[in-house]
Amino acid sequence: MASTAVHRPTAHPTAVRSPATGTRLTRAAAWVVGLLLVFAVVPAAVQPTAARADNPIVQHVYTADPAPLVHNGRVYLYTGHDEDGSTSSFVMKDWRVWSSADMVNWTDHGSPLSLNTFSWAGANAWAGQAVERGGKFYWYVPVSVRATGQFAIGVAVADSPTGPFRDALGHPLVENSEIDPTVFIDDDGQAYLYWGNPNLWYVKLNADMTSYSGSPTRIPLTTEGFGTRTDNPERPTLYEEGPWVYKRNGLYYMVYAARCCQEFIAYSTAPSPTGPWTYRGTVMPAQGNSFTNHAGIVDFKGNSYFFYHNGALPGGGGFTRSVAVEKFSYNADGTIPTINMTNTGAPQLGALDPYVRQEAETIAWGSGIETEWTSDGGMNVGWIENGDYTKVKGVAFGAGASSLAARVASATSGGTLEVRLDGPSGTVVGRCGVPNTGGWQAWTTVTCPVSGVTGTHDLYLTFSGGSGYLFNVNWWQFTRAA
């Protein structure tokens, strides 16, 4: 079955669906032009093949506007969520969280934040960013206010990077009809919030991260600071939206989406968090079957990573986007090199251990599956049909495994979980039968012997059975051979 992010009809009564609706409100005419342009510039490198590609990093839902956060040895990735079938406007109702320890196998943590979290929000769960301070996690997001229809910045807080998040204030933090917040905490502990389209603003946050000192300041959008745009007299600089601010070796970087539409990613630098900014050039050229782009940059385990979005998945486009990642290295003088989209993504950082419990929703690539909240804790893989599969990259079996245990549930006649190596049609090293357990959330653990699996392989869990939905999988774990 071809990999696709399109949801199937609801089959499980426990499936969680987003609670509200929204549409994009600005620059509609320009985006129509952008849509016409992007289909002429889709690089072949971002058309993934399910069995080989690892970019985009999530395939079972459309994701956008990546915001990475490094915490306790993992990268947590906060994204928007484009609803399936969106073709003429942004329909975004919630935000999603993912995490990885190796940059290729990503765990789905579901949606711990939605429009319903904010009683005052009406629509448009757009691009935000989360940051940790004092053991709490603060997620700044733009939404349109129900009472006015205008955009505002809200802040949600949680005790865990995966939530659940709650509205920290009960009202907007900032309200000036502009979007795309990014948050940065300097070495001296001062936190800054930046945001804006068509302008660019910042404000100094107080230590509580939910209030600020003084009034928002508008950053001058000069051509020296943000480059020259020649096609729009109302916007003389390249800055468009989606700022991302960070500090490296004493220099402040602002990476942003430039010149709608089709956007590319550009950047500027400054000697202080408030400027003055100097335009430095292009980071990622316009490409990738989406008229928008949105960047996030982090260092993790000694490497630098650039997150972005495109429209590379089946059914993807300007309103159905997908997050991807590339590893890169700064130039010797601190400048950022030009980065192009690929379907290979970042290399794996270390192998995955199959002898500890692994969540079924930790995958490098999935075909046909979806995920949902489970009564057994966390998320499970569901909506499984005959021929669907998940790929887990770089699994270190060492001297060999003797058996596999899997936590499963089925409200039908079940099916078979096949253990394959190095491809969805690869060598079968084990088969676990899954019975009817009495319900989609009635969990049981099945075990089956495996043989002939040693060394490091890509693990494919392939699913077979009759027609319709077969079973759910919550987690799996191998046992070492004696």
Which burial class, exposed, middle or buried, applies to 452 when counting CB atoms under 10 A from its CB (0-12, 13-18, 19+)?
Answer: exposed
Q: Which residues are catalytic, by number? A: 65, 240
Q: Which residues contact 432 (CB under 8 A, 6 or more apart)?
A: 404, 406, 408, 416, 417, 419, 446, 447, 448
Contact present, 99 and 106 (Cβ < 8 Å): yes
CA 291 to each of CA 18, 233, 258, 281: distance values in angstroms, whole numbers, following the listed order: 25, 20, 11, 19
303-310 and 365-367 beta bridge pairing: unpaired
The count of residues in the chain is: 482
Q: Give the three-state DSSP class for 29.
A: helix
CB atoms within 10 A of CB 247: 15
Task: Quickly list DSSP for 358-422.
Answer: EETTEESEEES-EEEE-TTSSEEEE---TT-EEEEEEEE-TT-EEEEEEEEEESSS-EEEEEEES
CA proximity to 60, closest of 91, 92, 106, 23: 106
Evaluate the CA torsion angle 364, 162, 18, 13 in order and state its sign.
Answer: positive
